[in-house]
Every structure is written in C-alpha cells, then in structure tokens.
Amino acid sequence: MTFETRTTPAQWLSAAWHIATGQRTAVPPGPASAASMALAVLLFVAFNALMGRVFILGEARFSWSDWWWGWARTALFVGVAWFGLALWRPAGRPAVSTSAWLVLYWVASLLPAGLYGLWWAMSARQWLPAWSGAGWLLWTLYGAMGLWWVVIAWRAARGLGASALRATGLGLAVVATQLASSWWLQDQAWTRDTPGRTTAPLQLSQEGFEAQETLFAQALDAVAARADGPAQVFGIVYAPYDEGVFLREAALVTRAMSEHLGAAGHTITLLNHRSTATQQPWATPRNLRVAIETMAQRMDPERDLLVLYLTSHGGQDHRLASQLWPLTVAPLDAVDVKAWLDEHRIRHRAVIVSACYSGGWVPPLADDDTLVMTSSAADRVSYGCGEDSPLTYFGEALFQHALPQTRSLEDAFALAVPHIVAQEARTGLADTPSNPQIHVGPRFRERWQAWQQGRGAAR
C-alpha cells in the first residue's frame, strides 16, 4: 500500500483501519495535516458523545459543562503521547510525529470501543440472552478492549519508526492514562434525566443553619402522639447521602409507611440532598437520636412499634456513609442506633437497612424484640444505589412491589427477595448476588401480629 507525499485524511483513515484490524499497512510518513487532525478529533468527540448517550437507558440530558471536562482528559492523553514520542527518546533516535500517532490511535481505537459499547447497550436493553450481561463477561470484554488498545498503540508507534521497547512502553502508558482518567475525571456529558438531580452546591450560612433548626423542630412537632386504640406504627426514614436515588427512595418509603403501615402523622424523614436543604431536616446522627427520643415520647412503649428505615452507601466496616458537601456529617453505625433505641426504651422495633454490606447490622441489633432486615449480607454489595438509579433494588422490591400486597414485614421480605434475584439476573449480577438478610425476634413477631389483627386481615 503506497501513499502520496501529501497524505490525505482518507489515507490516514485507511491506515488506522488496517492497524485496528491487524492488517499489514504502510503508515504515511511525516506529521498529520491539520485536516487529518481535525477529522480525527471530530470522530473521537462525536463517538464519545454517542456512547455516553447509548449507555443511558431512558430519558437523558446533555450538559455542556460536563462535556468540557472531556477536553481535560484529551489534553492529558496528548501530553503523555508527546512525552513518549517526541520528548523522551534514546540518544540518536529521531522523534516520532505525535500528530501522526494521535490520528492513527484515535481513529483505530474507535473500533474496539464501539464493539464493546454496542454489546453493553444491547445487553442492558435485553436484546441479547440473559448471560450476555453477566458481570464477569463484561469485565472480560473490557479487559480485551484494553489489550486491543495496547496493540493498536504499539502498531501505530512501530509503523512510525519507534523501537519495539519504546512502542510497548507508550502503548501501556497511554492505555493506563485513558483508563485512569476515565475513572478520576467524570466527564460524561449525558446524564439520566431523573427527578431531584441538581449540580448546584449547598450554600452554608448562619441563616441556613438557623433555618434548619427551625425545620427540624417543626418536623418533630408534626409527629402526632398516639391516639386511643390498638397498637400503632411510628416511622423514621434516614437518608444521609446526597444522591438522587436516596432522595427518591426516602419519598417512596415515607409514602409507603403512611399508606400501608398506617403511620400517617407518625413519621419523620431526615434527608441529605442539595435540592431539599431548605425543605427537609438534615440526616445527621444527632438529628436521628433526637428523632428517636421524640418518637419514644409520642408512643406507648409497651404496645406501639417503630419502623426505622436507613438507606445509603455502606462500607465493609458496616457503617453507613454520609455526605452533604461542604457540610461534614459523621457516618452511622449499628451500635449507636441500638444504644439510642435502648436508651429511650423503644422496645418493639424494626430496623431496615438498604446499603452495601448491611448484613453486618444484624448481629448488633438482633434480639427477641427486634426485626432486622438488610439489603445484603455482611460480605456482599447491594445494587441500584447509583445517582441515576430510580430506586435501589431492595427499596423498590420491598416498598413498591411487596408491601402493597401484605401488612406483614416478614411476608413482604419473602416477596421482595425473588424480585431482587430476578432483577439481579436481568442486569447480569446473578454471579454476585446481594443475598438480603432478615432476623425476626419472637416477641416482635407477636407484637406485629397483634398490630395486624388490630388493623384487620392482611391484604
């Protein structure tokens, strides 16, 4: 394959295609022209924008501010290539054209990235067999794509005159830079168009703190004392992490407690989210402790029941993460929650935790008077807790799918688990199941059954 002295963009594209597909080719000599560079950049930017949209199911919106962050990644990538090709070279060896290598690599790398993106998008939309979305398979394909990138970078550098050692080092360096920068520089221009998403930072001020105290006091005052009659349910929803999924889940659980557990007027929701900072009291350990104290004052401790729902990210130390930047909020652990419940003599309590590794909450809380339900085992992650997720898998299964069918928390758990297992299978996570956990104390079961009888038969 021969080229004219003045290499056209079409010839550069042809050479890149041959490099990507493993075919022998003669790489054009000399630097790439401005037209060839412009075409390569246009293809690269357009492809990334297209893939960003394809990876999102449902409605999405484009953010120009996020899109500009992609140029930071591009600048970093160009800098690594320039150092490896033009600046760093053995004595007596000529510099290799950075512009020529960039054109070849950018265009050729679109092929493996496009095939991976097509597979992922078709699997996520359930256009392929269920096994196609398995986590191990997607990671295997991602690894193969990375190796393909290394080979492309190596072949392009060798074709331009770099030594084998230099081409290998460059290939590994640029691919490592590409993968690392895609993790550290979250520059996806497309985001799921979901309620509660905002990029406006929380503004802290003395007036804001005072307004929060007023909001919290009003929320506590709004919790009605128990009325005469049979056992009643009181509820606390605690969502301490500033992400849209927890905002939506807190709203769902609050509504479900009122509609299905009869806790209307007996529920308080503590929430950390920038969009509600002037509307809802914050989810902090101090506010949770005070909320538990208030519930104890409004309840009959011998007859009534408290349902405490906690939703956030969780760590392997079994603490719940808290975030409301720039406010610093301490994480929450099971030992403190148990101490507060015991301190205020709330005897009959259900503690439901939706978080990764939340099974670690079962041993500290389990006793004869307590139900503990968690979205995962102590050594497992749970799913659906991304910013753009509609709800967590666990929250959706328990409160949207199961609880409308029964007033029994045990039965709701039994209905929710197969729903979660099916959802994990649909999304390729069957090989790493969350394995939700439950402990039901015998005295709690008796008290909950008495409450059910007081409200009539289960639906």
Instruction: Give the separation between CA 377 and CA 293, rounded to whole angstroms.
Output: 29
Whether residue 280 is contained in a domain is answered as yes
Nearest-CA neighbor of 358 among 304, 326, 398, 388?
Answer: 398
Is residue 243 domain-shared with residue 149, that is, in the same domain?
Answer: no
- Report the pLDDT value the prediction gives residue 410, as an integer from 0 to 100: 94
Domain boundary residue, one of 192, 218, 235: 192
Is residue 229 domain-shared with residue 123, that is, in the same domain?
Answer: no
Q: State mean pLDDT over 308-332.
A: 91
Contacts of 321 (CB under 8 A, 6+ apart): 240, 241, 312, 313, 314, 315, 331, 355
Number of domains in the chain: 2
Is residue 112 domain-shared with residue 19, that is, in the same domain?
Answer: yes
Of the two residues 260 and 180, the one the predictor is more confident about is 260
Q: Which domain holds residue 355?
A: 206-455
> Residue 233 is part of a domain; what is its CATH number?
3.40.50.1460
Is residue 338 domain-shared with residue 257, that is, in the same domain?
Answer: yes
Confidence label for 4 from pLDDT (cuts 50, 70 and 90)? very low
Is residue 158 domain-shared with residue 272, that is, in the same domain?
Answer: no
Is residue 223 domain-shared with residue 181, that is, in the same domain?
Answer: no
- Report the pLDDT value the prediction gives residue 36, as an integer from 0 to 100: 78
pTM: 0.64
Is residue 270 domain-shared with residue 343, that is, in the same domain?
Answer: yes
Contacts of 385 (CB under 8 A, 6+ apart): 243, 245, 246, 313, 354, 355, 356, 392
Judged on CB neighbours under 10 Å (0-12, 13-18, 19+), 266 is: buried
The predicted-structure confidence for 112-163, as pLDDT tens digits, reads as follows 888 887 887 776 666 776 566 566 677 788 788 888 888 888 888 888 877 7
Whether residue 201 is contained in a domain is answered as no
The predicted-structure confidence for 232-276, as pLDDT tens digits, reads as follows 999 999 999 988 889 999 999 999 999 999 999 999 999 999 888
The predicted-structure confidence for 275-316, as pLDDT tens digits, reads as follows 888 889 999 999 999 999 999 999 998 889 999 999 999 988
Is residue 146 domain-shared with residue 244, that is, in the same domain?
Answer: no
Is residue 188 domain-shared with residue 254, that is, in the same domain?
Answer: no
Domain boundary residue, one of 192, 227, 245: 192
Confidence label for 368 from pLDDT (cuts 50, 70 and 90)? very high
Instruction: Give the separation between CA 49 and CA 62, rounded to whole angstroms.
Output: 9
Of the two residues 319 and 59, the one the predictor is more confident about is 319
Whether residue 167 is contained in a domain is answered as yes
Whether residue 13 is contained in a domain is answered as yes
The two tokens of residue 324 are 């409301």
Whether residue 3 is contained in a domain is answered as no
Contact between 331 and 322 (Cβ < 8 Å): yes
Is residue 210 domain-shared with residue 186, that is, in the same domain?
Answer: no
Whether residue 1 is contained in a domain is answered as no
Domain boundary residue, one of 143, 168, 192: 192
Whether residue 42 is contained in a domain is answered as yes
The two tokens of residue 131 are 């096994």
Whether residue 405 is contained in a domain is answered as yes
Is residue 222 domain-shared with residue 137, that is, in the same domain?
Answer: no
Q: What are phi and psi of 332, to 5 degrees?
A: -120, 140
- Report the pLDDT value the prediction gives residue 457, as an integer from 0 to 100: 42
Is residue 388 domain-shared with residue 295, that is, in the same domain?
Answer: yes
Confidence label for 91 from pLDDT (cuts 50, 70 and 90)? low
Weakest mean pLDDT among 40-54, 83-97, 292-306, 318-332: 83-97
| pLDDT above 60: residue 97 | yes
Mean per-residue pLDDT over the chain, rounded: 82
Report the percent of the chain where pLDDT is more than 70. Answer: 80
Contact between 380 and 356 (Cβ < 8 Å): yes
